[in-house]
Amino acid sequence: MERASERLAELLRARGREWPAPIEFFEELSSTNDVLKIRARDAAPEWSVVLAERQTQGRGRHGRAWISAPGNLHLSVLIRPALPADAASVLPLAAGLAVCLALSERGVAAELKWPNDVLARERKLAGVLVEGASGVRGIESAVVGVGVNVGVVPAELPPQEAERTTSIAAETGGPADILVVAAAVLAHLSVCYDALAREGPATVVQGWLRHAVPWWGRGVEVRSEGRTLSGIARGVDARGALLLEDAAGRVCPVLSGEVRALRLGEP
Ligand code: BTN
């Protein structure tokens, strides 16, 4: 798959970016995140990229599987974050913002659902899984894994989930080129990461909020670490935590979880 890697490097060059690290493209592997983590342990340089047409053990957030159909984008990028702790905690939001901007560029009305799901018409279009490895000096590397339904909604998804999922092809009514989408994701990722490193988390959080689903002031439910919390979504703080107002009016930060908007009448 050397030709695909070369074409992606060429597409990045056409966007004014000489990609600084190896790009590897596989027909099939277990998970691009897992392969890139091995590369990271073997001292791979920052911005190394692994892509695959199919993953046999694609992983999503919260230990879920990510069904990887050919025709979709499965990509992981290695970052070695030289970031203070407050900025490092915003990396997942920065990655989600980059994917959202890349998909908007492809003509999709993309929106972010906290922390980094990308939706179109309230259906899931892309997901991001950031996995960090810590050493004595804090986070030594982070693998940013991005899955985008470019051409298809995977046929293996359970019907209820398939109804809440979409693809670029379905949103734009035409075919989309995986490598063009990959180039857009990588280019935006490097811009968002630079903004995080140079300007700090506030710039990224502000950008993230501009593209977020407008749920602020609405009732939401958050599944977080085995608990289900409900309250009113009040925004996102400087660390990227979701601010949830409880029934007593206290606003608490939620650091991780899965959020959904409650419908009218739901408690
Ligand atoms: C989610 O929404 O739960 C995150 C999904 C992330 C999926 C991508 S596909 C490429 C990379 N490799 C993986 O195993 N997972 C991520």
pLDDT in tens, 107-141: 999 999 999 999 999 999 999 999 988 766 667 89
State the pLDDT confidence band at 226, using cuts at 50, 70 and 90.
confident
Residue 264 is predicted with a pLDDT of 66
Q: What Å distances lie between residue 65 and 88, 147, 156, 223, CA to CA?
A: 25, 12, 12, 17
Residue 140 is predicted with a pLDDT of 83
- How many whole angstroms separate alpha carbon 88 and alpha carbon 90? 5
Average pLDDT over residues 171-185: 96
Residue 236 is predicted with a pLDDT of 96
> 169 alpha carbon to ligand 1 midpoint, in Å?
19
Please identify which residue in the block is written with the tokens 């991001």: 128
> 178 alpha carbon to ligand 1 midpoint, in Å?
16
Of ligand 1's listed atoms, the one at least distance from the Cα of 32 is 12
**Three-class SS of residue 148?**
strand
- At 75-89, the pLDDT tens digits run 999 999 888 877 888
Q: Which residues line ligand 1 (CB under 6 A)?
A: 31-33, 55, 58-61, 64, 66, 74-76, 117, 127-129, 145-147
Q: With a threshold of 0.85, does the pTM exceed it?
A: yes
List the residue whose alpha carbon is closest to atom 3 of ligand 1. Answer: 60
